[in-house]
Amino acid sequence: MRQLPTISLLLAIFQIILLQATQAQETGSSEAITIIKQLRSANADTARVQMLLRLSTVYFNKTLNPISDTDTALVLADQALELAQRIKFASGEEDAIFLKGRIYIKQQNIVKLQQMLVNVSSENRIKLLLESGKSMLRTTYLKKSNRDSAIILFQEAGKLSDRIANRKLKEESQCLLGVVYLLNGNWQQGKAYFMQVIEARQKAGDKAGELNALLRMATTVFCDDCTENITALNRALELSHQLGDKSLETLIRLQIGYKHLNDGNTGEAEEQAAVALSIQRTI
């Protein structure tokens, strides 16, 4: 009987999260209107490139009309790229190329993506390999997941990251390899990849990076025996306190509650959910 109030509390928090998601969608629409107004009087300079990229990203992230919105996003990314090249704005050009690649991935336009990968910078190639691999982890109404191919892409991205000594992208490839093995039910192998990143972030004194890796490891899949997941989440909770991040604390406590619920510990689940809900109301 104690499970019912626990579920009620968790559902209450989900209502808050859904409200935030709705607000985010509304914010995106409001941002698009603001950027469009700014573009009407903007000069052909770096600021205009950044506006076009921001507007393209807003359309890229929309979900109500994905075909039309991604087409619009691509047109805007092309405009940003053309202007960046014309005014020799190198970082804007790189950002526009990466965004175009992400759009091709979302559109599942493999031919265009492969043509693009031939001439992009090493960093953009790595980032697009990672994005392409991530798209293969999801089963959609158009295609099934393809984790074996995702592993190949993540491994290639990791090798290229080593070649150009890009630590951040290397660690992202390790995390994503960990995700694949967790999805395949191999906790130990998945954990091993994540621990490489977690230990590296600990040595660097990067609490936010360590927390992010712990959260990804502990929440990627459901667990039957959640002991190790809860241990990782408790460490993440400790780090969120050190960072003073109340939003993250709410998320982590919610996850801890679910893991305890999976283990049949409804009392602890209810306690974590109550604290999370109390924190969320103050944010």
What band does 12 get if pLDDT is binned at 50, 70 and 90? low
Looking at mean pLDDT, say which of 2-16, 176-190, 258-272 comes out highest. 176-190
Number of neighbouring beta carbons within 10 Å of residue 17: 14
Q: What is the pLDDT of residues 60-69, one digit of tens each?
A: 998 888 899 9
Half-sphere exposure of 254 (CA within 13 A, CB side): 24
Instruction: Tell me how far apart the alpha carbons of residues 215 and 193 are, in angstroms, rounded to a whole number.
Output: 14
Q: Where do we find the tokens 């805007």?
A: 76
When pLDDT is averaged across residues 32-36 and rounded to a whole number, the result is: 88
When pLDDT is averaged across residues 217-237 and rounded to a whole number, the result is: 95
Give the three-state DSSP class for 138: coil
- Of the ranges 17-31, 116-130, 267-281, which one carries the lowest mean pLDDT score? 17-31
- The confidence score (pLDDT) of residue 88 equals 97
The answer to whether the Cα torsion of 65, 71, 77, 83 is positive or negative is negative
Contact (CB, 8 A) for 198 and 210: yes
pLDDT value at 14 more than 50: yes
Whole-number average pLDDT of the chain: 89
Tokens linked to 77: 């990314």
Secondary structure element (H or E) that encloses residue 168, with its range: helix 167-183
- The confidence score (pLDDT) of residue 27 equals 54
When pLDDT is averaged across residues 235-263 and rounded to a whole number, the result is: 93
pLDDT value at 135 more than 50: yes
For 137, residues 6+ apart whose C-beta sits below 8 A from its C-beta are 145, 147, 150, 179, 180, 183
- The confidence score (pLDDT) of residue 37 equals 87
Over the range 80-93, which residues count as b (16 or more CB within 10 Å of their CB) and which as e?
bbebbeeeebeebb
Give the three-state DSSP class for 8: helix
pLDDT value at 90 more than 50: yes
pTM over 0.85: yes
- The confidence score (pLDDT) of residue 1 equals 38
When pLDDT is averaged across residues 28-39 and rounded to a whole number, the result is: 83
Secondary structure element (H or E) that encloses residue 124, with its range: helix 122-135
Q: What is the pLDDT of residues 153-211, one digit of tens each?
A: 999 999 999 999 999 999 999 999 999 999 999 999 999 999 999 999 999 999 999 99
Over the range 215-230, which residues count as b (16 or more CB within 10 Å of their CB) and which as e?
bbbbbbeebeebeebb
For 110, residues 6+ apart whose C-beta sits below 8 A from its C-beta are 104
- The confidence score (pLDDT) of residue 274 equals 84
